[in-house]
Homo-oligomer: A and B are copies of this chain.
Amino acid sequence: MTNTLVTLESRPSGAVQESNFGLKTEAIRELKDGEFLVAIEALSMDPAIRGWMNAGTTYIKGIELGTVMRSFSAGKVVRSKNDSFQIGDYVEGMLGAQTHAISDGSGIRIIDISNSKITHHLGVLGMPGMTAYFGLLKKGEPKPGDIIYISAASGVVGSTVGQIAKIKGCTVIGSAGNDAKCNFLVEECGFDYAINYKTEDLNSKLKEYAPDGVHIFYDNVGGETLDTALLNLARGARVVICGAISQYNDMGNIHGPANYMKIVTARGYMTGIIVFDYVKEWPEAAKEIAGWIYEGKINVKEDVVHGLENYTDTLMMLFTGKNFGKLILTV
């Protein structure tokens, strides 16, 4: 039995290239006590992977050259010397871009796929979905009648936030970068309004859809989007910082929110979501979201590519905006 793995062969200076990666096959070694073997079925393709390919910082370790690409992956336990992970269990965690992974269980969670697709556990029932769920419910504190604005709304996090907010009785506004994504938000996710930030003026559209301001701003973008949203806060508004994708390419030169004093005049606050703080509550949350999916209240969009040999091309889709929905590579 062999393992096929995608390795990091060189560090890119800009966009990733085919030559940065290798595809290798190796024998699978014997398990030690406490270990188990996972046959991986699907990889989550995330923008964060590009960062992990750098040499690393004090905050995050880069992937070592010659080793397997880091990846959130999901699969089935096929061998085990660990009582907590039985053969036949489905698991998810940082298992790498490969067909098989040996793990001692640290950071790995067992997933229930009886009522859900395994790929959902990398998206709406995985870290992105949990980020949406806890960020909205614990930090945004939505009340019926509240207006929420979500930036980068067509991603897994954003579209899940908006759909949960609809369940909670909010009016939902989302912004995205093209008309197809905006249509998806309104027609498939039930958003009340979608703003194409590339062709429409965000500030005037927010003023049109929320003349008295938004009660919750769930931000995945930062930069000018955050500046503009701060001009449109209702009294008592909650600004939930989830990400700042507009700033990740130049982390040494972050554009701080110039309109931060608007938080004061709005009698609001700015806070953020760290999804790992709620890890004990994940299973319960995943169960609730799976129920909403089953009831048709949450629409999940996935963009699935097959085959480890397509790893580079699939990863590049993230940075050219070609994917539409949660990007998954199946093995």
A271 touches B269 (CB 8 A): yes
Closest Cβ–Cβ distance, residue A278 to chain B (whole Å): 11
Contact of A265 among B59, B257, B261, B267 (CB under 8 A): B59
Contacts of A273 in B (CB 8 A): 264
The count of chain A contact residues (Cβ–Cβ below 8 Å) is 25
Q: Which residues of B contact A272 (CB under 8 A)?
A: 261, 263-265, 267
> In the complex, A274→B268 CA distance in Å?
11
Residue A244 CB within 8 A of the other chain: yes
Q: Pick the contact of A227 from B255, B256, B263, B268 — CB < 8 Å?
A: B256
Complex partner residue of A277 from B254, B267, B270, CB under 8 angstroms: B267
The proximity string for A residues 38-66 relative to B, scoring 1 for CB distances below 8 Å and 0 otherwise, is: 00000000000000000000010000000
Contact B267 A241 (CB under 8 A): no
Q: Which residue of B lies closest to A230 (CB)?
A: B256
B264 contacts A254, CB within 8 Å?
Answer: no
B260/A270 in contact, CB under 8 A: yes
A232-286 interface with B by 8 A CB criterion:
241, 244, 253-261, 263-265, 267-274, 277
Closest beta carbon of chain B to A285's beta carbon, Å: 18
Contact A271 B264 (CB under 8 A): yes
Task: Check if A261 sits within 8 Å of B244, measured CB to CB.
Answer: yes
Q: Which A-B residue pairs are the 5 nearest by beta carbons? A: A264-B272, A256-B256, A256-B258, A269-B271, A254-B258
